[in-house]
Every structure is written in C-alpha cells, then in structure tokens.
Amino acid sequence: MKQEDSATEGPLGGIDGRTFDVVIIGGGISGASSAQHLAAAGFNVLLVEKSDFASAATSRSSRLLHSGLRYLAPPKSLWDFVKKPSSFFAGVDTARKSAMVGDELVRNLPNRIRPTRLLLPIVETAAFRGWQIDLGARFLKLIGRRKTPLNYVRTSHDDARNLPFIQWLREGNRLESVVEIDDHQFHWPERICIDSIMDAERMGAVVLNYTAAEDITREDDLWQVAVRGKDGTHATVSGKVLLNFTGAWTDRTNAMTAAGKAPKRQIIGVKGVSLAVQLPESYEGVGIAGLNSEGDAIMCMPWGKLHYIGPTETVYEGNIDDVKPEDEDIDELIHEINLFMPGFNMDRSKILHAWAGVRPITYDPDRPKGRRMPFSVIHDLGREGYPNMLTVTWNAIMFHQPTARRIVKEVSKRVRPGGSPQPLRYEGERDQAETSSPFMDSWPEVTRADIVRCAEKEHARDLVGILYRRTGLGWYVRIPDTKVREAAELIAPTLGWDAGDIDREVETFSAYVRKYHMIGDTDWSA
C-alpha cells in the first residue's frame, strides 16, 4: 500500500476510525483554548490544524490587552450614542468585560503579560473633551470592578511636552491635554496558544498540526471528518460535536459540510499590516494611540525593545493562504503615521520589519468592515440544519479564556463528557533541570535548550515554527544567517534532517522572512 493511501503509520494511524466527543478544526487561539478547557472538563478532544499552531491571525495580533476605556468613546461625537443607544450599551458591555478579563489574564498569565504605559492625546478637534475621558475612566472602574489599577493621569498641554511622542504630534490638531494609563500587552500570543495546546495534550487531547480537514459529512448523528497529514497519510474520524474555529477560513470550512445550501456567511476578512521601528531608549515601554484619517485606530506601541506602527484596516478579498505586506500597505502606514506624528518623519529607511494578517471579523452586510462589537460571537449552526456544529467569529485573544468556558457550556448541552475533570495550567511548564546558554546574547530569554525543546516536545516541524511562534525570537531581534543555521543543526537530530535538509530549511526560513516580514538592512539585533 502506498504511503498516501495509508493511515496505519505516523500520527494519523492512531486516530483513524476513532470517535471523539469533540472535533476541533483550527489551531489558533480559539481552537487551542477551547481544546484545553474541554479536555479539563473531561471531554475526549481532537484538534487538527492544517498549518502550524498559531500561524495565522493569532500570530498577527496587536498583542494589546485593552483596559476597556477605548470602548466607551463614541465613533465621532456623543450624539452618536444619543442617536443609536444600542452602540452605547454595546460599548459599555465590552468595556466591562475588558476590565474583567484584564484582571483575570494578569492573574492567570503573569509571565505572558507585560505592562505598557499608553498615551492618548486629546486635541481640540476631537469628538470628546478631556473631562469626558476622566468621567469614562471613573465609570470603567465602577462597572468593571477593576483590580488592576489604570494609574490614570490627565496632563495639561504644557506639562505633557516632555512626554515621549508629544513633540512629534501635528500642531494643527491643537493639543488640549494627554491622558496616560497603564495598559498591558501579551508578551507573544503564539506562546499562549502553544501553552494551551500542550496543556490540552497533557490532559489527553489529541493535537495534530499540519493536518488538514478535507471533507466533512454528517452520518448516524455524528460528524465524519476526513483529514490528511503533510506526509500524505489520511484518516477519517467521527465527532459528536464539531467546532469550526478556522478564523479567516471559517466560511470555506463551513462550505465543506454543505450537502445542499451552505451556511450563511459569517466572517469578513480585514487585513492589518504593521511596521517595526527603533525609537530612542527613553520611549521603551511607552506607546501612543490616536485615530487615522478614516477614523480607525493608529498606534505606535512597544514591541520588545522596538515599537510597531499600525495597523492598516483594509477589507481583504485576496488569497488568505498567502497574506503579506504589500507596497500600498506600507505607503498607507507611512502616510497615516506622518499625519498623526509628522515630527517622527517616518520613511521606508526606518522600517526594520513588517507583517500582515487577516482578522476574521463578524460579517454584517450593513457594516463594510464587519461588526466590531461584541467580540467572540458563538454561532450555533444547528439553526441552519447543521446540528452540533459551532463556529466563533472575531474572538479577540484577550477574550480567549471566557470564550472557551462558554464553549464548554455549549458542548455540555449536547454531549456528556466521557472522562473526569482535571485542573488546567494556563502557563506551560518548562523543564528547568537542564541548564543551557542563551541562543543569542541579544535576547538571553531564549536558550539553546529551548530551541531543542520546541522540536522534541512542542510539535515544531520547521525553523519558522521555532524562531517565531514558540520562542518569539524572530519578532524582537534580527537573527543572523549563522544563527539560523545553528538552530537548524540543533534540531536536526530530532527531526531527522541531514546536511541537505539543513541547507533547504535555512533557505526556506530566509525566503519566508524576506517575503512575509520585509526584513530591512538595519542591524537591530546588536
């Protein structure tokens, strides 16, 4: 029997013909956190991801853990809330939930969350005044019962002149004052996703990356899912409940199930591009946010020892399997940041690297860029003739844990767990028994042992999966070609690579960063 016709070897051999309580398609943050919480609740879970875990929208997040204050701001003026009170109540609800999950994530993920001092300039041409922001901060504290302090300060124009960024702002806006708050960022969201997946596996879930769902049918009250591995092997599994958590691919995956009429459209893809730059050392840990010429957010936020500028907000109808920064995206960002902060004098020479992603925002025919509130919308496709099938849209990373708990409740309505509850671990355990030297002196948090561990214990199959998703190294430092090769040599014994494989993997990594990150010429790893 040919390898492509066999499911008796490799990781798929153990699942062919099996029935699971829950089959999850999609290994981003939605699928990862749901798999973890479902496994902890005693469900028998299979998670499959067609690429690597955390390789799509999860890895392109702004990484902001919003305090909730921004959701209390009207789109243009306070009259917007008077004319459409539903938008006010949606904003209040989102602000309240943001404050609550902020406290929870700071508590649950202490090593994955980092504080950021955020500046919000209030200009005379804005839709709201400084005193209204003061009121919003007090209201947020009241409705959110927030335990993590905002350390809110509003500084007059004259006293704010020495703050970072302020001297770069456009004078024509006539700065009134500057609000300062303590916000937070995820250290890197891919790591949170990987931690969740590895914890799900620890509790008995089967987790498979590079395993694509190719066909979905409904037979004998079960979902039948045909999957194919990267090596050509295939298997068919059954699931009592099917969760389509494929993000930008949601509608495409839904269409696989359609014997007749396909489910209604659920997402609209909005492309976001960001640029990394190097700012003075005194700006480290401080960010600024405002509005671009179309009224969308534009930010310059800490990114390790760097800062990023972005994002763009463009409806995307291109190839979702090949999303990358384009020249028009870069030109747009340069134009917008120079409108917001002309004193920075942004140009292409300051770009260290860039990235692009597609956000799966809830589709709404009346909103060209989708429905932004609420976040984390769970859709029951049983109402459309697809029983025991759920999807989720616009699941912001900051809401991943409460969304996963809601998923557990929904699944529990449909099937009883076959196992016993287990305690989950929000942060992955690391083997500290073996000491190891830093892989790069410029980022000592990542050791040589960490590189090897990714291949041995975390399902990494290539250099991008290790140097970006599992260690985060590529996001924050320039990795020289010699170090890329060293990483390949470290993991070669685990992955069975020979000298030719190492050469190919190094070149594949180099081609990836050129295409998807537009790596510049500046040596920013020194």
pLDDT (mean) for 87-105: 88
Q: Report pLDDT for 3.
A: 35
Cβ neighbours for 113, distance < 8 A, ≥ 6 positions apart: 65, 105, 106, 184, 185, 186, 187
Q: What does the pLDDT look like over 306-329, one tens digit per residue?
A: 999 999 999 999 999 999 999 999
CA 215 to chain centre: 27
Strand locations in 450-522, DSSP E?
none
- Report the candidate in 177, 184, 89, 162 with the shortest Cα–Cα distance to residue 128: 177
- SS3 helix, strand, coil % of the chain, rounded to 5? 40, 25, 40
- Report the candidate in 297, 307, 311 with the shortest Cα–Cα distance to residue 61: 311
User: Would you call 9 helix, strand, or coil by DSSP?
Assistant: coil
Long-range contacts, stretch 260-263, CB < 8 angstroms, 24+ apart: 261/385, 263/381, 263/384, 263/386
pLDDT exceeds cutoff 60 at 2: no
pLDDT (mean) for 271-297: 94
What does the H/E/C string look like for 164-191?
A: CCHHHCCHHHCEEEEEEEEEEEECCHHH
pLDDT (mean) for 53-68: 91
d(CA 519, CA 507): 15
Q: Report pLDDT for 7.
A: 42
pLDDT bin (cut points 50, 70, 90) of residue 1 is very low
Q: Report pLDDT for 4.
A: 40
Q: What does the pLDDT look like over 121-172, one tens digit per residue?
A: 998 877 778 888 898 888 888 887 778 889 999 999 889 989 999 999 987 6
Is pTM beyond 0.85 here? yes
pLDDT bin (cut points 50, 70, 90) of residue 77 is low
Q: Report pLDDT for 217.
A: 96
User: Would you call 138 helix, strand, or coil by DSSP?
Assistant: helix
d(CA 381, CA 251): 12
- Report the candidate in 32, 415, 512, 403 with the shortest Cα–Cα distance to residue 246: 32
Q: Report pLDDT for 8.
A: 43
Q: Report pLDDT for 434.
A: 57
Residue extents of the structural domains in the chain: 3-58+190-265+370-412, 67-187, 267-362, 448-517
Please give the helix or strand (H or E) that residue 58 lies within, else none: none
Q: Report pLDDT for 128.
A: 75
Cβ neighbours for 168, distance < 8 A, ≥ 6 positions apart: 341, 342, 343, 344
Q: Report pLDDT for 79.
A: 60
Question: Residue 361 in contact with residue 394, Cβ under 8 Å?
Answer: yes
Torsion angle of C-alpha atoms 153, 154, 156, 158, degrees rounded to 10? 40
pLDDT exceeds cutoff 60 at 523: no
What does the H/E/C string look like for 260-301?
A: CCCCCCCEEEEEEEEEEECCCHHHCCEEEEEECCCCCEEEEE
Q: Which CATH superfamily is 267-362 part of?
A: D-Amino Acid Oxidase, subunit A, domain 2 (3.30.9.10)
User: Would you call 309 helix, strand, or coil by DSSP?
Assistant: strand
Residue 182 β-bridge partners: 117
User: Would you call 198 helix, strand, or coil by DSSP?
Assistant: helix
Identify the weakest region by mean pLDDT among 18-32, 260-274, 433-447.
433-447
pLDDT bin (cut points 50, 70, 90) of residue 41 is very high
pLDDT bin (cut points 50, 70, 90) of residue 289 is very high
Q: Report pLDDT for 129.
A: 81
pLDDT (mean) for 370-389: 95
CA 317 to chain centre: 20
Alpha helices in 28-129 (DSSP H): 29-40, 78-83, 85-108
CATH, domain range 3-58+190-265+370-412: 3.50.50.60
pLDDT (mean) for 185-190: 88
Question: Residue 268 in contact with residue 251, Cβ under 8 Å?
Answer: no
CA 110 to chain centre: 18
d(CA 378, CA 261): 21
